[in-house]
Amino acid sequence: MKFDFSKKYNRETLGGFFIHFLLSISIIVILVVIYFYVYLPKVTNHGETITVPNVEGMAFSKVVSFLEDHDLRYDINDSSYSEDYPPLTVLKQVPAAGAKVKENRRIYLTINRINPPTVQMPNLIDGSLINADAVLKGSELKRGKIQLVPGPFLNVVQEMKIGGRKVEPGTRIPKGTIIDLVVMDGGSNTLPAPDVIGLSFEDAKIPLLGSNLSIGTVTLLSDTTGTKAVIVKQNPSPQENIKVGDVVDLWIGEPGTPIEDDGADEPDDFSQDDEGDN
């Protein structure tokens, strides 16, 4: 008897339908397995990683070939400025050095600008030299030479210069510029030091700063938490002749706190009579 397979398993029969359905499912499963476990790992280098090298501080001209040699790519996504590095130097990288990435991963770079950003020249005129230092530092500027000129106030800024030329407040200048200051020498004018002993630190500021004096070192002699803290010593002493702009050091403690004598006024143990006895 002749067996006709095409008729027995024809698609139009129920058995033929299931046979073709199972064949289709098998082919799809085989293709999925090949794609995810053979093709995809091969094109993505599954299980293979590269350690990101450190390119921070490296000149950009060298970074390009350096990353290519490590099978990595780059992209400049930002720029900043630091005076500690030459222009066109890599300041930052993402991912960081030491990270594990795939081949051809893109490394994002922050490059040091060629020209520094500018800031407005702050107004230092009629301010103290101490204040000028703080303001210049906050504006990312540097203090240069100090030129003394005759004037009644000590260490009070009279003029600002860049490279020997006067610069006006508000002028746009590059960050990191060196600013020379012209300050008064205080002349020969003197005044008695105000007496701030017994006052709180905040109250002592009023006569000191009002006399155009600067507060120097402030020493805490004891733990004043929960107690009344006052000025128990000052140098120069009250009523001592000083110049405008001079510095006054303060010692703070509870009222009546003993002050150790520095021994400057104590007599020497060695005397002429003792020498004669020898």
CATH code (residue 76): 3.30.10.20
Whole-angstrom Cα distance, residue 128 to residue 146? Answer: 12
Q: Which pLDDT belongs to residue 104?
A: 85
Q: How far is CA 70 from the centre of its chain?
A: 32
Same domain, 156 and 199: no
pTM of this structure: 0.45
Q: Which pLDDT belongs to residue 123?
A: 96
E strands, the chain, where? 50-51, 73-80, 90-94, 100-101, 106-112, 118-120, 142-149, 154-162, 165-166, 172-174, 178-185, 190-192, 214-220, 230-235, 241-243, 247-253
Domain carrying residue 34: 5-44
In a domain, 74, yes or no: yes
Residue keyed to tokens 């085989």: 30
Of 143, 165, 185, the last residue of a domain is 185
In a domain, 272, yes or no: no
Whole-angstrom Cα distance, residue 93 to residue 74? Answer: 10
- In tens, the pLDDT along 219-277 reads 988 777 778 899 999 999 999 988 777 889 999 988 887 776 554 344 344 333 444 44
Q: Which segments of the chain have a pLDDT < 70?
A: 1-17, 36, 38-48, 188-189, 260-278
Q: What's the total number of domains in the chain?
A: 4
| Paired strand residues for 185 | 154
Q: How far is CA 91 from the centre of its chain?
A: 14
